[in-house]
Amino acid sequence: MKNIQLLSGLAIIALSFTSCKDEKQEKAQKTVDSYVAYVDSVKNVASADLKADWKAVDAEYDKKAQEAELALADIKDNSAATEKVNTSKVKYEEFKKEMTAVFAPPAPSPKQQLRNALFGEGKIGDDMNFDWVNAKNIHSVYQQFVHTVEDNKDKYSREDWDEVKMMYEALDSRKNTVEKEGLTSEDNRKIAGLKLKFAPMYTLNRMGAKSEETKEAKK
């Protein structure tokens, strides 16, 4: 009788163990399926809707991808599940690259690229606002401007030189205001030296650019 009870007990334990093992596998499979479904669902959302919540979408993907990877260890024969996970991973990475390109800001116009080089990224836009230039930084602003022009003088077109001239005159206009706000005599002297360097460089190279364009037009 005792033997029968012992065998029955062992059978119940074994059955319970098998049941737990089956539940674990079932849960793992659901985790994998949830990951696959998430990738497919994200790919069906309009890019305009994704853009606003992209960080949250990507973070949720990372979480589900990690859970799916861990779940594979709990599936006895996981070759099919592994293939599903890998396929979805490739799908998402390709989709992410596509969305990154879609969400990227448009490239600045040639005019804006020139302004960025002369003053720094985004410092001067269409509003031509020079309020950020003050007595403390105006010398360094002139330095960057003149040195940038010097480094690129052989590459500028006539239109580029016209833009450079307009920006230079706007900076000079701002200097007139800054001089009344505590510009040191030392910085003023250094700026005067930079202006002496710029003037002939502009005149000669703008004329050269115009001549080159005239030659090209005749060809």
Task: Judge contact between 74 and 27, C-beta under 8 A.
Answer: yes
pLDDT confidence bin for 54, thresholds 50/70/90? confident
Which pLDDT tens digit goes with each residue over 135-182?
A: 999 999 999 999 999 999 999 999 999 999 999 999 999 999 999 888
- Report field, pTM of the whole predicted structure over 0.75: no
The per-residue pLDDT for 214 is 53
How many other CB atoms sit within 10 Å of the CB of residue 77? 8
Supply 12's token pair. 């119940």
Report helix angle 138-152 to 110-119, nearest 10.
Answer: 130
Supply 41's token pair. 């669902």
Task: Judge contact between 153 and 201, C-beta under 8 A.
Answer: yes
